[in-house]
Structure 1
Amino acid sequence: MHVIRARQVFDGRQFRGAADLVLDGPNVVGVRTPSEYASAVVVEDLGDVTILPGLVDAHQHLTWDCSPDPVAWHTEHDDRQLLEQGRSNARRALAAGVTTVRDLGSRGRTALDLREETARSATAGPTILVAGPALTTPGGHCWFLGGECADAADLVRAVARLDEAGVDVIKVMATGGTITPGSAPHESQFGAAALTAVVEAAHAAGLPVAAHAHGTGGVADAVTAGVDTIEHCSFFTAGGVAADPELVRRLAGSATIASLTGGTVPGAPLLPAIAARLPALLAHIRALRDAGVRCILSTDAGIGPNKPPDVLPLAIAQAVQLVGIPIADALAMCTSLAADAIGVGSRAGRLGPGVSADALVVAGRLDHDPSALARPVRVLRGGVPVPSP
């Protein structure tokens, strides 16, 4: 066994104070009060550090290049180049302590191939769950990934193809988005009936559904359809953010989880649609949480210069500073709660008996200083130390 001792441990739900993380190869044995061990046990006392589970980012685009023009990137680069970009992004995410990523939109088999590579090597990148091409209307949001569907029948056939290809989740664009020219984020692309057809086909195949939805109409339709997660869930109108208490109550009473995409590099410009709505968006997030909506924290990394693959630690700190979310809650939103939301809670997002030994060690007391997330000391994936970048 191998023991890592720290002044503070966060187990995925709560801070435990000074404790020992006990590992046995690729798995966690448990979190224990510091004590003496047999001489054969290696004990590393790392001093004033915090140990927490490896972070779970439930919404990234690993094969994108974080450029201001995703359409041009995909037009000008072949799948081999996209995969190479994905390798670099995966290593960068892992080095920051992001040990699980759900990739929610990629072209062809690029993310599937990347998933297989990181499954073979603990240091190649995070554990990856893949959606493949997001399902969208002809010419709709992210059409350039290859998932265009004209109607419900097309959507059902696309679900079957993706299931055969081996994806882990189905992504569908309930509304337009902010990065595709000609697409408006507040406007719906598929109605409740079409989204329901996607959910029924996906669930019959054992696959969850993640619905991209900015506008209130798209959010309402996604709730009606019974999707598993709503990505963004931002309640956009043509010029702002809607206050819709009834829709919030519906969402809170449903099984659907809101995947809130935050995190930006300081100083990097925000997308205009986000910048213009930022104060209202922050108030909206507070309202969702106050109403009891189940929320997790993700990033949408890859879509622009302010969203690199290692932005999740910043998202956590910004959730604390800008929204007022307590640090333990913010950490749970991208560890245990995020792992549960994407179906990997039995093996990730926690430090407990039998889970994978995915861990992040940061310098300092994270319960006192959220910025400690930017000071990684060590990252483990499956008990294997990840080389520093």
Structure 2
Amino acid sequence: MLALRARRLFDGQEMRHDQVVIVKDGRIADVTADVATDVPAAVDLGDATLLPGLIDCHVHLAFDAGHDVVAMLEPPGLPDRMRQAARQHLAAGVTTVRDLGDRDYLALGLGLGLDGPEVLSAGPPITTPGGHCWFLGGEAAGEQGVRKAVRERAARGVHVIKMMVTGGEMTPGTHSHLLQYGLAELKAAADEAHAHGLPITGHVHCAQGIAHVLDAGFDSIEHCSFFTEDSYAVDHTVVAQLAAADVVVSLTVGVAPSPVPLPPRIQQRMAGMREALRAIQAAGVDFVIGTDAGIGPPKPHGVLPYGAEMLVENGYAPLDVLRAITSAAARVCRVGERKGRIAPGFDADLLAVAGDPLSDITALRRPLAVYRMGSRATGRVGQINQTAPTIG
């Protein structure tokens, strides 16, 4: 057994004070004001905040956050690099990640155990022939084609279906503002996913794509951007539809300090992206954070605390942000019955940070200790790898 005491405790919903968390056999046994006399190990964390382990709803463990992430998919050793990427998340206090695009279903069999976060995987994302991230191996066309692709993933044991509704920035020949699939194909994929008891999420970068996935019945939307061919234009009618729908937006926010600047097409759209963030917040849209970690040097693995900081900087309430990276994220990832809360019966995935993240959200970047199923992580807690490899 283990007892952890901290000045503050965020239980996934509310902030509490001077509580003791009792851990037994990898799960939370009790949350109390007193330490039981039969607890052999007691840790006083002092002026710290204890939180549920954080959950990043959108990562790519197969991408190394380097200058050419596609080239680095080819050489041998990819599973080992994915394990190292996962450990970087754990060091940052992220105890669960949802991998939304790998190659050969590698994220399903990394075998990390407690030496990394729990990995929930989509396998190769479903995309059109030659479409965004086609090189991950998930090409499928037509209603029957996408149904077959969903069935294949369900048989493999994935946790979520990921579909590339629009093009993307890293794939030449595709365009973020243009649809890749029509409404009939999106509905077919969503129906097939739900028939297999799986949630489905869509990579979407334009207003029409957002409207289509709402009509198709997707469970969540990744990015939820409003790209146009040359600019960025928030569609407030679509934002209102998002607020009224039973859907969760996974905001891919968070950029770590990096000597490598954002791509020019992204830089020139940043003002529009911030406007979209504020519009989503003002409308009361349900949201979580998925960082898109791994896609380039500004998005190293373990960048989630920077995503939380970005939302607070754009007017989001710190309490809502903390919920978005714990209990709300657990529900979206379909693990809400055991993750994202500090309560009896839940997994003892825990993060202790210096200070109070409600008054200073950057406290999330100062982890003191990370526990995975009650075992303390022994890696370089708090270290983010911000050095991108050079591709020759």
Give the TM interval when normalised to the shorter protein. Answer: over 0.9
Residues in 1 aligned to 2:333 and 2:67: alpha-carbon distance in whole angstroms: 28
> How big is the shift at 1:36?
5.0
The CA deviation string for residues 144-191 of structure 1, in whole angstroms up to 9 with x for no partner, is 001111211111111111111111111100000111111111111001
Change in 2 beyond 3 A, CA 1:363/1:134: same
Partner of 1:383: 374
Q: After superposition, where does 1:204-353 map in structure 2 within 5 Å?
A: 204-267=195-258, 268-321=260-313, 323-353=314-344
* Counterpart Cα distance in 1 of 2:70 and 2:173: 12
Matched, 1:102 2:65: no
Partner of 1:32: 32
In the alignment, what sits opposite 1:84? 80
Work out the CA distance in 1 between the residues paired with 2:122 and 2:38.
47
Question: CA contact under 8 A between 2:93 and 2:351: conserved in structure 1?
Answer: yes
C-alpha distance in 2 between matches for 1:372 and 1:331: 12
- CA 1:40–1:193 in structure 2 vs 1: closer, same or farther (change >3 Å)? closer
User: How far apart are the structure 1 equivalents of 2:369 and 2:121?
Assistant: 26
CA distance in 2, matches of 1:97, 1:131: 22
Q: Distance in 2 between matches of 1:32 and 1:329?
A: 24
Counterpart of 2:89?
Answer: 93
Q: Is the 8 A contact 1:138 1:149 kept in 2?
A: yes
Once residues 40 and 47 of structure 1 are traced to their aligned partners in structure 2, the CA distance between those partners, rounded to angstroms, is 18
- Mapped to 1, the partners of 2:254 and 2:31 lie a distance apart of 30
Q: Does the CA-based 8 Å contact 2:60-2:293 persist in structure 1? A: yes
The separation in 1 between residues aligned to 2:39 and 2:238, in whole angstroms, is 58
Match of 2:135 among 135, 139, 144: 144
Q: CA deviation at 1:252?
A: 1.3
User: Following TM superposition, by how much is the alpha carbon of 1:71 offset from its aligned partner in structure 2, in angstroms?
Assistant: 2.7
Equivalents in 1 of 2:69, 2:160: separation in Å? 22
Secondary structure at the aligned position of 1:194 is classed as helix
Q: CA deviation at 1:369?
A: 2.0
Unaligned runs of 5+ in 2: 381-392
- Asked if 1:201 corresponds to 2:197, the answer is no
- Partners of 1:7 and 1:365 within 8 A in 2: no
Preserved contact between residue 357 and residue 380 of structure 1 (Cα < 8 Å): yes
Deviation per CA, 1:297-316: give whole Å up to 9, x if none.
11000111111111001111
| 2:69 paired with 1:70 | yes
- Asked if the contact 2:132/2:164 (under 8 Å) is kept, the reply is yes
**Which residue of structure 1 lines up, in the alignment, with residue 20 of structure 2?**
20
Instruction: Letter of the 2:70 partner, please give it.
Output: V
User: Residues of 1 paired with 2:218 and 2:141: CA distance?
Assistant: 20
Q: Distance in 1 between matches of 2:232 and 2:20?
A: 45
User: TM-score, normalising length from structure 2?
Assistant: 0.93
2:151 counterpart of 1:171: no
Contact 2:63–2:294 at 8 Å: present in 1 too? yes
Deviates more, 1:232-241 or 1:254-263: 232-241
Distance (whole Å) between structure 2 residues aligned to residue 375 and residue 272 of structure 1: 31
Contact 1:233 1:259 in 2 (8 A): yes
Report the equivalent of 2:389: none
SS in 1 for 2:132: coil
* Alpha carbons of structure 1 residues 36 and 83: separation in structure 2 relative to 1, 3 Å: closer
Per-residue CA deviations over 1:23-68 (Å, capped at 9, x if unaligned) read 22211123333x3532545332111111000000010001211123
Q: 1:178, 1:271 within 8 Å by CA — same for their partners in 2?
A: no
Alpha-carbon shift at residue 361 of structure 1 (Å): 0.6
RMSD between aligned alpha carbons? 1.4
Corresponding residue for residue 42 of structure 2:
43
In the TM superposition, 1:122-137 aligns within 5 A as 122-123=114-115, 125-137=116-128
2:15 alignment partner, SS class: coil
Partner of residue 360 from structure 1, selected from 348, 351, 357: 351
Q: In the aligned structure 2, how far is the partner of 1:152 from the partner of 1:248?
A: 28
Q: Which runs of 5+ in 1 are unaligned?
A: none
1:290 Cα offset (Å)? 1.3
Residues 118-162 of structure 1 show CA distances to partners (whole Å, capped at 9, x for unaligned) of: 2xx212x11111111111111110000011112111111111111
Match of 1:51, as an amino acid?
A: L
Pairwise CA distance, 1:274: 2.1
Q: Quick one: distance in 2 between partners of 1:67 and 1:36?
A: 47
Larger deviation: 350-359 or 20-29? 20-29
Identity %: 45
2:327 corresponds to which letter in structure 1?
Answer: S
How many residues are treated as equivalent by the alignment? 379
Amino acid at match of 2:91: A
Match of 2:56?
A: 57
Deviation, structure 1 residue 386? 0.7
Structure 1 CA distance, aligned partners of 2:325 and 2:232? 24
